[in-house]
Structure 1
Amino acid sequence: MQTRDDGQLRVLYVGADRDGVRSAATGIERSGTRLSIVTASSRDAGLETLDEREIACVVCESRVACEGGVDACLDPDVDLDLDLELEFVDAVRQREPHVPLVLFARNAGSEALAVEAFRRGVTDYVQVGGGDESPWSTLVDRIDTAVAQARVDRHRRRSAALLDHRSELVCTVDEGGVFTFVSPAVEDFLEYAPADLLGERGFEFVHPNDRATVRETVGKLLDNPKWEPTVEFRAKCADGRWTLIEATCHNVLDDPTIDGIAVVAREGTDEVENQCQLRALHETTRQLMKARTHQEIADITTEAARNVLRLSVNGVYFHDEASDRLVPVAITRRGEDLFDEIPTFERGEGIVWTVFRTGQAQIYDDVTTDPEAYNPDTPIRSELVFPLGDHGVFIAGSTDTADFEDRTVSLANVLAANIERALDRASRQDELKARERTLAAQNERLERFSSIVAHDLQGPLTVAAGNLDLARTESDDVDRYLAEAATALERMQRIIDDLLWLAREGREIGSVTTVDLDRVTRFAWGHVDTEGATLEDARIPDVRFQADEDRVVQLFENLFRNSVEHSSTNPRSQAHEDSVEHSSTNPRSQAHEDSVEHSSTNPQSQTPEDSVEHGSSGVLVRVDAGDDWLAVEDTGPGVPESKRDEIFDTGYSTSADGTGYGLSIVETIVTAHGWEIRVTDGPDGGARFEITGIDSLEWGGECETENESESESERRTESERTRERKHKRDTGTADPDE
């Protein structure tokens, strides 16, 4: 049954002469705008047209008018041309058994002929008398009726033909791959209703990795209609699963009862399914090895276990070293639906932890019978637990007992082994990237230190050399020149010490213990040259927190030194605006501005001029704390807002004596602990350094230490003794035996 591109139905009108068929075509087309008339003025011409073109309906003009019935019409004495009627009917039906065929009698007609014509397959017999004012309208109506009925009959025949395969999934698609028919068996196979698929593209329901094979098969089938290939592929179920299908395809585009590609599908055989699963696992392995992150590997795992092994409840747990727990990182939707909350396994809890610890897989027909089961009330009965080395475990479960076949267990074991290899590979890549980042950071530090050594040491070296030259050439003030040179050398030593610390320690922290704020504050203050400054020790908050105690002491030492030196007097530190240079070619007057570290280790050389510039030596320093923060603030001149983004830069200083590393060390220690630091104005106008993000900070109570009952001297850590020895050595008060 054929419709033209413009929507009109193509009708073949067969008559006895040209003038008659032309008149009929004009009358029909005027009465039926949906009909396009193809004419033939003889029986042979009509049959040729039917062979060459697709016709929606055939109208044969009948001129028989015999009241004696068919026998009378066949009487040799009766001069009638029966080919236009009965023989033509037989010829049409041999070619097109289901195309509507209408006999049209323009005269009185013959009732007997009509009976015989219906017996031979005529769809309708239209008889109009000479007095009919609109014979063409009547004919058009009957043609429309015949075409509509033929469509219904065609659909019924196609459905009946296809439903002969009731135990199999049967469907048809057109040349574009769109479903035109789907049998009810699809509900058993893929859990769709037939109406869900009609009008959809069939390729969308084929697994992406199988589409190329299916497309190639269909292409060959279109070129070779007699070929009946069988193809295996994974089809998408309504719940998102993939199931194996074995389908035989038939090219029946030339069959009007089908008019498409018929697909008869059945569940794959065990052999075919095994091959398909192995092929799919091989594809999964390639994906796992290409994955860049552990999370990506976990996601690929759960999807493959669900789609390939049909383990709808499965998940991946990774071992979190920080908390020493097994935590879920990827769970199927079905698994999430079964539990109100996905459990996290603490050390030693349940079968899962046993598998992780021993490295031995466990298979259970009913997990609730095991005394080590984490949750005896779990909805899971059958369970598979596979170790993933040091990374964690892979778990699969079912709500039915003894639900896992031996082959499924074997394939799951293969998958788990591939997961572990992929995780090992990802870990090696992470380690390699970490080493590359460390090496890059080391190279960057080396380059920075080289630049700093060349630049920052040049200043005090020039000062020392210049003063030594003056001491040699001038007889006056030799002691002053030598003192200036010694001070410059001391500053060089401080720069070297700070550089070595940054180079050796970097951003690593040592062992984390409970730190008492009061104790480390007092200890740090005792190792800073306070130059008349005062610590409000009575107001130190009673708090403790988790940190590397040696680093915290170093942090407070540098913050205290910054507060003291920023407000101290120093004849060699005259400030000038907008200058960040560290060195000067004048050995007695290095220019700097807005100093953060106005360091001075020479208390004998303080002048009133510097007291005016930098504030008195009686600066007040206090330590404060809050819910998750610590702060050091002073009553000095503060830090200009325009300089607050620069003061933590390595080597930044505006003081002739400052090394420029004190606050850089502070930031390094803060960052190593995962905290943050910022500088603001203090309540009295000075500087306030606030450290935030200290989650472990606790208020009140005694600070519990391992040596709490020991005396003060016994309680000090080895690092404290080391710091004391270093301080005495730096100040020249060390015992020679030390």
Structure 2
Amino acid sequence: MTDIEVPDGLDIVDRVTDAFFALDGTWRFVYLNDRATEMLDPSGRGLLGEVIWDVFPETAYTPFPTQFHGAMDEQKPVAFETFYNPLETWFEVRAYPAEDGLSVYLRDITERKRQESEANQHATIVEAVHDGVITLDDGNEITYVNRAVEATLGVPRERLVGKHVSALPRIATIDSESADTMDEVLDELRGGDQTEERLEVTFEMADESTRVGEIRMVPIPGTNTDSVAGVIRDVTDRHDYERVVTSLHDVTRHLFQAETRDEICAVAVHTASELLDLPISGVWLLDEGRDRLTPVAATAGAHDVVGGLPQFGRDEGLIWDAFLSGESALYDDLKENEGKYNPETPIRSELIVPVGDHGVLMTGARTVGAFDERDRELAEILAANTALELDRTEREQLLSERETTLDQQTERLRTLETLLDDHAGEAIRTALDGLDGLDGLDGEQAAELRSALATADRIVGDATELSAGRATLGSRTFIDVSEAVDAARERVAADETVPVSDVSAAVVEDATLRADRDRLVRLFETLFRWSEAGSTADARVGMLAEAEARSVADGGYPGGIYVERTGATPECVEAVTDPEADGPIGPAIAREIAQAHGWTLVAAETHDGTLRFELSEITTLEPAGE
């Protein structure tokens, strides 16, 4: 190869950052600057004097030959971009012809092409997404919108791009308040430390329906300006769902106002029809006696479509599967399900939701796939609220029945009181008065009969007091326990009708408490007089907190007092004050008096076998001397 003459003036291109090389009229390299050598001859083999098509034969499959020959033939500059596979490089090529050769500039644009490719991909994605995308410059003018924004607002992008956000109410039917808010949020996003701002806007769609959009706005990364991108998502359905859920909870008030289960179910189906847009709905409740699910309430649409609403015996139809499982069931097409109750049903879609253990809410539609998970969730909320109110009515009915029973029992007790007090008591008193007129009885017989009648009169009085619940209290005052005990002991000792001959009552620790004095004395009296006939009632009274022998009744002593009855040994200690047991009448009266004061009276047995009455929960009890 002979020496190649380098064209004059080409030494300046050594300082050019682009690759540059020169070809003579026979397509041989006559010059390469440093960048061209680095790019095209990295191995250093030397390209000067070599024919470009021989050194780079792969260029035959690129625009290089066509473009270079065209430039030389027409003596006109050419510019083009191409990818050269052996170098895995995108080139921007500019060729300048002369009569004796060609000057070529190469620029590596691989990175630019990669960015453009990514941008094109992103643009394709942005155009394809359902959410609207909008970009704004630092002056809050719109620079881009995707197809979703066009479709949502019904405005071509040409009318939106270049417009200030304040023009949106006029162009795109976004309400003016939302546009003003958007303007303010954009300024806050640029001026503050926030990396994201969200706002909601109200707008009209092309079909004139009003929608709500949520816009998430973020700064565009990689830019030197305050450009912002916004993603607009239609949240109207979410708002509607939240509104319906809130309304469903408000329905609870109407359900609560219903007094019967039929009224509750009527409110439920009305709500399903009007609020949830489920016009073919009904509620079936369990008839436990007949083991059937029977219709209680239904919409007019259900009656129109189904006609007479059926009753479902156990395991008849799909309704029982949902009821027994406690899980809602959604059927897109009943014709494909062999378990349906009526093979000829006009219903194609069906949604069955259990109403607790009361029954089911069932709704249907004439079309296939009419319900979705949103319908299921809302129906479940309605069914749950309905179940709570049905539980309430059951409790109220049970309480009403109990109140009726208590009223009947009270009436019977009043009748017993009348019989005991007015009739039996009067008869006994008449007999006592008549004893003085009997001449055939000696003194001892008359005394025995008089004592028996007096005892019967006292028993009648006790029974009357207990049956009538005469534990109502008068005014309360502070009284010493020892004073009440002494007064009770004197009453028992003076009462010839009680089975004790005397009372020995020792107050071990005295105390003061606030009580109805007469009823407190009566309480101690009824506890003291209970004993075997002719015996002495031995009693010890003290503070529970100071008791030496811990009782078996509890693991600790609350504030209160005790009355120990030495020698009194009933067969069952717990039955002495048990209201359900047939125990002695005296302690039963004492229990009623204690309860009227807000105290608790129980009978227990100490470790040494002593019967102890424990009177606890006396909040006003204070030890004597304090």
Q: TM-score, normalised by structure 2?
A: 0.33
Between structure 1 and structure 2, the one with the greater Rg is 2
Choose between structure 1 and 2: higher strand proportion: 2
Q: TM-score, normalised by structure 1?
A: 0.28
